[in-house]
Amino acid sequence: MMMNCCGLLTSNKEAVPLKSVEVELEVRDHVATVVSTLNYENKEDKPLEAVFVFPLPGDAAVCHFSAKIGQTEIVAEVKEKQKAREEYDDALSSGQQAFLLEESDQSPDIFSLSVGSLRPGESASIRLEYVTELAVQADEGLRFCLPAVLNPRYQPQGSGGSGGGNVQMTSVPASMVPYSLSFSARVSSPHPVSKVESNCPLDALQYFNTEQTQATVKLAAGHKFDRDVELLIYYKDAHQPTAVVETGQTSAKPGSLMGDPVVMLSLYPEFPQAVMSLVASCGEFVFLLDRSGSMAGSRIKSARETLLLLLKSLPIGCYFNIYSFGSSYEHIFPESVEYSQKTMEEALKKVEEMQANLGGTEILEPLKHIYSQPCIPSQPRQLFVFTDGEVCNTKEVINLVRKNSGSHRCFSFGIGEGASSALINGLAKEGGGHAQFITDTDRMQPKVMQSLRFALQPAVIDISVEWDLPKGVSVTALSPPITALFQGQRSLVYAQLTGQSSEAAEGCVMVKYSLAGHPSQNQLHFSLKPAEDTGLTVHRLAARTLIRSLEMEGRESGGEQEEGVKKKVVELSVPSGVSSAFTAFIAVNKGDGKVLQGPLVVRNVPAPRMMACSMGRFNRSRPPGMPTKAMAHSSPSYSPGMVDCGIMGRSVQSCPTGMPMMAMLHSYSSYLLGKSLLPKQPPRDPLLQLVSLQKASGCWVLDPALADALGKTSREVEKPKPASVNQEVWATILALIWLHGFKMDAQEEWELLAMKAVSWLRAQNAPCVIECVEAANALLGFSVQKDALGL
């Protein structure tokens, strides 16, 4: 049980040497630079090593790490990971101070920072800097997330989690984090900043100029570490194709990545309207839902409601199936079935019963099973994955999606605080789909329905990027080939430019592709003149992109080839100063000559977590002179013996021999028996009530349930029906009028199922449609026009 402690103590009553975290964010257009300063102080009477495991955005390029002790500043270097670890251990063994920052071997969004050592009474300030691209949201906002919450990552059974590269996570409930956070952001763009929103309380936006192209914003005072900090930044007319050319480093060799100019292109493809109106009427839609214990409560309820909307919005003629997973996995049908009234009803019945009671988060096995199923001819496979993304085998999962990327598109949804950005973004990127993040304050439905609209867009194939550059300038692509294009969504391309051109020279890039059988292209002309004052941001993001591609290639190749790829990554990571899976930042304080006296005690700095769970404690104490490399550098993050338990939505340690297992079974059976005694469910949301009554064909039926959903009696609904109109046509027009009259604020949620209803109405060639619309408006008290309905 967690105890409430006062002061800077963990739940185990150990002192926490980390006192505060200060974060400064600078956003330029759609690129963010983040500087975090971690302030440490040792108030104990013995020297400490502080180990802090914390999350970063999965696609961040960490490019600076330094430590300041008193007036001495030590800037870290990037070195091959094993060498960096050995140098750190050797420094500590010989009584010197050292600082090590490394990426987890399992997931690129978890880092470990070791501060060794802090002498009694000593303070240190650690500065960490990274750059990252901001993703475009459905509503055209740019999303920045400062991950604060670090939930335990589930270690799949039999995955050998105690290997050398695992980082040990220590976490406490968010309310008990013993250090403070301050956060401020500065935003600048060629376009006016229209607004900045957050899931956390913000002070008012302050503009720096009359054009409103520069602004600052801060977290309101007293912010607790109880959630990830999410900022949504909106510019006016921002989403236009752009190109930024950044000059190389003067000290680097011409012809190398850091020595040559690099261009970053932001492409926003616009598809012909004639093609965009062709919403697909086919496809195999596979929904994969996380039902591990951490999905309990509002998350699983929201997921059930979302599946209702998805199933009602699917086109007639498609195929579908629903899988769910925890420690094991289930599917509603043995294989994907044709969408009909019968199969839709059968699926919805099973969805209604779904609870977050399947234990851990074994996502790999259901994915393998889905990919083992043969694809259905002329029904492109679209996979939707819903998870809170707390797994250790992130790289293995992403690798599997990449291997199967030719047979499907993958749309991913990260649910709640602490969802792994590396997992969610990686699934979508490698699966040629789109990623969405849904915090616990967001409605899941609008974001999911927007991804369904993407899935229903015709697939773009045969994508190629062609360059037209002045004589003497050659181009090397640094980004992997573009595999997915969606209307209005950004694609980023990085390329290295080698050779000389005049300042006034211009380049052109063309993206060619085929869409619904039509060859199309978008082109962008850009100046080759380097932008001013970009530092090396673009080079670092380009290096990060290339590093990630190489790491993926290495995991696929294995053996000697893998070693060759690792060598390439190290050769890229070290000169660019960007971290990778094979390198780490190391800083050693060789300056003061003082040798540490006495044994060094490890203090694990806890990160905040959202779920209550029991976690193993990891504490090392090292006698003077004992090399750290003799001790385990790390231990499992979340052991196989730990069950992500759905009973109460929290993790419990599996019982050792002799523990009263019967008591656990008794409490679980009481829980099952008690389910029938639970209070009745609150009344369903009126929108979902109406949607649940729609038939697979798109129509509604005139019955008491529909009258109830519309807030009328059966008699009130039946009486105004024009005599020559059949009941289903009348019921469907009533439902459409109600949606347009009552629920325009949620149109993105019901738009697709309304389109299906309109298609059904058109196919009926019903008489008196205008008369029906007028009668329905009169009954429901609206004035919705026939054209607004799309009739």
Mean pLDDT, to the nearest integer, of 577-606?
81
- Asked whether residue 175 falls in the same domain as residue 216, the answer is yes
- Asked whether residue 433 falls in the same domain as residue 473, the answer is no
- Asked whether residue 525 falls in the same domain as residue 411, the answer is no
Note whether residue 674 is domain-resident.
no
For the four alpha carbons of 342, 344, 345 and 350, in that order, the dihedral sign comes to: positive
Q: Is the model more confident about 610 or about 394?
A: 394
Note whether residue 634 is domain-resident.
no
Please determine, for residue 202, whether its predicted confidence score (pLDDT) is greater than 60.
Answer: yes
Cβ neighbours of residue 761 under 8 Å, at least 6 residues apart? 699, 729, 732, 733, 769, 791
Note whether residue 11 is domain-resident.
no
Whichever domain contains 150, its CATH number is 2.60.40
Q: Is the model more confident about 164 or about 751?
A: 751
Kindly state the DSSP code that residue 161 receives in the 8-state scheme.
Answer: T
Q: Is 663:725 a contact under the CB 8 Å cutoff?
A: no
Orientation of helix 747-764 relative to helix 444-456, angle to 10°: 50
Mean pLDDT, to the nearest integer, of 404-411?
89
- Beta bridge partners, 436, equal 413
**pLDDT score at 310:** 92
- Asked whether residue 328 falls in the same domain as residue 200, the answer is no
Question: Number of folded domains in the chain?
Answer: 4
Mean pLDDT, to the nearest integer, of 164-178?
70
**pLDDT score at 598:** 61
Instruction: Please give the Cα distance from 326 to 329 (Å, whole number).
Output: 6
Number of C-beta neighbours around residue 77 at 10 A: 15
- Asked whether residue 35 falls in the same domain as residue 76, the answer is yes
Residue with tokens 């000697």: 560
- Asked whether residue 372 falls in the same domain as residue 436, the answer is yes
Q: Which of 98-107, 218-227, 375-384, 671-680 has the lowest mean pLDDT?
A: 671-680
Please determine, for residue 697, whether its predicted confidence score (pLDDT) is greater than 90.
Answer: yes
What does the block give as tokens for 756? 């299906």
Phi, psi of 389 (to 5 degrees): 60, 45
Among 396, 429, 456, the domain-final residue is 456
Q: Which of 177-186, 500-509, 670-679 has the lowest mean pLDDT?
A: 670-679
3-class DSSP assignment, residue 385: strand
Note whether residue 118 is domain-resident.
yes
Note whether residue 311 is domain-resident.
yes
Give 583's pLDDT tier (boundaries 50, 70, 90).
very high
3-class DSSP assignment, residue 89: helix
Instruction: Please give the Cα distance from 227 to 233 (Å, whole number).
Output: 19
Please determine, for residue 84, whether its predicted confidence score (pLDDT) is greater than 60.
Answer: yes
Q: Is 290:300 a contact under the CB 8 Å cutoff?
A: no
What does the block give as tokens for 273? 């309207």
Note whether residue 42 is domain-resident.
yes
| pTM (2 d.p.) | 0.79
Note whether residue 129 is domain-resident.
yes
Residue by residue, DSSP assigns 461-473 as: EEEEEEEE--TTE
Orientation of helix 537-557 relative to helix 394-403, angle to 10°: 80
Number of C-beta neighbours around residue 621 at 10 A: 12
Residues 422-441 pLDDT 10s = 899 999 988 988 898 887 77
- Asked whether residue 613 falls in the same domain as residue 761, the answer is no
Among 574, 589, 616, the domain-final residue is 574
Distances (CA, A) of 198 to 29, 191, 201, 228, 447: 18, 20, 7, 10, 17
Cβ neighbours of residue 462 under 8 Å, at least 6 residues apart? 512, 513, 514
**pLDDT score at 279:** 62
Length of the chain: 791
**pLDDT score at 649:** 33
- Asked whether residue 254 falls in the same domain as residue 139, the answer is no
Note whether residue 678 is domain-resident.
no
Q: Which of 342-356, 640-654, 724-738 has the lowest mean pLDDT?
A: 640-654
Cβ neighbours of residue 384 under 8 Å, at least 6 residues apart? 285, 286, 287, 288, 310, 411, 412, 413, 448, 451, 452, 455
Q: Which of 74-78, 119-123, 175-179 has the lowest mean pLDDT?
A: 175-179
Instruction: Please give the Cα distance from 134 to 29 (Å, whole number).
Output: 9
**pLDDT score at 278:** 64
Instruction: Please give the Cα distance from 23 to 370 (Å, whole number).
Output: 42
Distances (CA, A) of 395 to 169, 435, 556, 570, 737: 18, 17, 11, 19, 48
Mean pLDDT, to the nearest integer, of 169-180?
80
Instruction: Please give the Cα distance from 21 to 508 (Å, whole number).
Output: 44
- Asked whether residue 179 falls in the same domain as residue 302, the answer is no
- Asked whether residue 433 falls in the same domain as residue 345, the answer is yes
Q: Which domain holds residue 707?
A: 691-789
- Asked whether residue 192 falls in the same domain as residue 163, the answer is yes
Please determine, for residue 477, whether its predicted confidence score (pLDDT) is greater than 90.
Answer: yes
Intra-chain end-to-end CA distance of the chain, in Å: 61
- Asked whether residue 143 falls in the same domain as residue 179, the answer is yes
Whichever domain contains 325, its CATH number is 3.40.50.410
Please determine, for residue 320, whether its predicted confidence score (pLDDT) is greater than 90.
Answer: yes
Per-residue b/e over 543-557, b at no fewer than 16 CB within 10 Å?
bbbbbbbbbbbbbee
Mean pLDDT, to the nearest integer, of 61-69?
93
255 membership: H or E segment, kind and range: none
Phi, psi of 746 (to 5 degrees): -115, 25
Q: Which of 21-35, 141-155, 246-260, 633-647 has the lowest mean pLDDT?
A: 633-647
Question: Mean pLDDT of all residues in the chain?
Answer: 82
CB neighbour class for 45 (10 Å; exposed up to 12, middle 13-18, buried from 19): exposed
Among 529, 555, 574, the domain-final residue is 574
